[in-house]
Chain A
Amino acid sequence: MSYTLESKQLEAIEDLLQHDLIDMGVTCVILIDMAGNIIANLDSGERKHDIYSLAALAAGNFGAVSAMAKIIGEEEFSLLFHKGKKENIHFSRVAEDFLMVSIFGNDVSLGFLRLKVAETIKAIRSILEEITGQ
């Protein structure tokens, strides 16, 4: 079982991520599916992370947190965010099968990031809907 996105869809997604998030100061954005595969990744060039491991762990973590939510009677948690000293990481679900991971420094506020992420996700969703037919 496998799936593919068209080049132009990937380009549109990457343009969105670049314009809406990287240009706004986000260090690194990775769009992954729930299996842990990387669909798109962009960074500001400041740091090189091991994105394959990051994607695997993010998908696992998201799955674990969703299972925790269900145990306590929640559909899902709306805010998934880890704060570090210099870098922070934010997770957001994009449609049923995709997840967006944003890494950002303290110069970007969480509120601003959430706003931009919400806008970006809305736009990505409409691009993805074309392939998943949701």
Chain B
Amino acid sequence: MAFINPKTKEVQIKIVYYGPGRGGKTTNLEYIYSKFNHRIKSEMVSLKTHGDRTLFFDFLPFDIGKVMGHTLKVQLYTVPGQVKYNATRRVVLRGVDGIVFVADSMKVVREKNLLSLKNLHENLKDYNRSIFRVPLVLQYNKMDLAEQGIPLLSYERLEKDLNTQLKVPSFPASALRGTNVAKTLKKIISMTLPSLQRNLKKEVVN
């Protein structure tokens, strides 16, 4: 739930990277942090286990310029992907403005993508939000693994599996190399803006 501060002329929006464990959610944020660190004033916060898996969330805030005279502060979060951490995922999803679903393109984890997407649907329902109405972008990660001969699901297969009903923008990507990472982020930010602009207009009128 974006917050508009008319006093400081600042808007804060929350974007959550969701998806199965070891799918590359944290890698997305790490790439963004390394690539755009000149714009990011604070450190990236990572709450990890000893095994380097996300335990609670990663957090990365940064400014991306102005919308109707207001500074736009984007706050990126990831969730822990492992099935057992559902309570934590639900906590992080609270008040979300936009979601990037990072799917793992490896053939062996096909089922995990489906389960994670179903889990997102259910967790949103707990907050009376619908997966069909929340701004959502799909990212099919790990496309670079094809070069190493690892069997991957094709873009068409992933679309059929995950995007038949949703019909949202989707990108094949490699979070490790940065392929389509910025594009995914730009897309989800642009999708959260329309509802924000409506409220900003009201704000300007007042």
Contact = CB atoms under 8 A, between A and B. Distances in A.
Contact of A34 (B12, B57, B94): B94
Contact of A2 (B57, B73, B92, B199): B199
A37 B5 CA distance: 10
A53 B91 contact: no
Contacts, number: 97
A56 B4 contact: no
Contact of B7 (A2, A10, A56, A67): A10
Interface residues of A, number: 26
B96 interface: yes
Interface string B1-32: 11111110001111000000000000000000
Contacts of A115: none
Interface residues of B, number: 36
Given A3-B1, A4-B3, A5-B5, A57 B94 contact: no
A39 B3 contact: yes
A53 B87 contact: no
B87 A60 contact: no
Given A3-B2, A57-B59, A63-B91, 8 more contacts: A2-B13, A5-B6, A7-B7, A10-B5, A35-B94, A37-B14, A53-B61, A64-B91
Q: Closest 6 CB pairs between A and B?
A: A35-B95, A63-B91, A2-B2, A37-B3, A4-B4, A37-B12
Interface of A: 1-7, 10-11, 33-39, 50, 52-53, 56-57, 59-60, 63-64, 67
